Amino acid sequence: MLCLAESKKVVVVGIPGVGKTTLINKIVEIIKNHDKSVEVTNFGTIMFEVAKENGVTNRDELRKLPILEQKKIQKIAAEKLSNIKADVIIIDTHAFIRTPEGFNPGLPYHVLQIIEPTNFISVVAKTEEIYNRRMKDETRNRDKVSISTIKKELDIQSAMMSACSVLSGSPLKHVLNSEGKLEEAASQIIKAIGL
């Protein structure tokens, strides 16, 4: 039986190809089976909705906006997100955004202060699995990458999420989402967030 004293705000990050969306869908199913309300919010989608008001027409254009503009959009999106009410709020996002200037934090300090997350989940997978999943994904306009680039992205994600955990005082759990082990990964997350 799930017992929550307060609402959980769970930030789930993962580089493209780790299977984050599939894993989140499984977590939602488990939470709903225990009669708890759960809301999944994709931070990038909220940012895109805000950016569309300023002429952005494609979600993949967000990462090419000037950093100052991205920060403004992140702040507005975080404020919208902070008003969501549910027993468990899952914030689906990325630890960083690859921009022309470099790796821009997906969860900078000003966003963490607004969101006030209770938990961080960093989803990872084997580099070869990530590479293969990306090569099959034709739904997005992604940059071409190599195995070494994926390894670097996983390292950057780990570093950025460690910083988020320290800055917010909220625990961080790294979860390996291997092919065919979805139930195991979901179970680790449910346990980590105290449900």
Report residue 194: phi and psi, to 5°: 80, 30
DSSP state of 55: T
What's the pLDDT at 1? 38
Q: Cα–Cα–Cα angle for 12, 59, 94, nearest 5°? A: 20
What's the pLDDT at 64? 86
Q: How many other C-beta atoms can be found within 10 angstroms of the C-beta atom of residue 15? A: 24
Token pair for 111: 């966003």
What is the Cα 13 distance to its own chain's centre? 3
What's the pLDDT at 142? 57
Residues with Cβ within 8 Å of 93's Cβ and at least 6 positions away in sequence, in order, are 11, 12, 13, 42, 43, 44, 106, 107
What's the pLDDT at 61? 86
Going residue by residue through the chain (195 aa), what tens digit of pLDDT does each one get?
344 457 899 999 999 999 999 999 999 999 999 889 999 999 999 999 999 998 899 888 888 889 899 999 999 999 999 999 999 999 999 999 888 889 999 999 999 999 999 999 999 999 999 999 888 876 655 567 899 999 999 999 999 999 999 999 999 999 999 999 999 999 999 999 988
Burial of 146 (0-12, 13-18, 19+ CB in 10 A): exposed
Task: Check: pTM over 0.75? Answer yes or no.
Answer: yes
Q: What is the DSSP string of 146-183?
A: -HHHHHHHHHHHHHHHHHHHHHHT--EEEEE--TT-HH
What's the pLDDT at 193? 93
Closest among 146, 139, 147 to 60, alpha carbons compared = 139
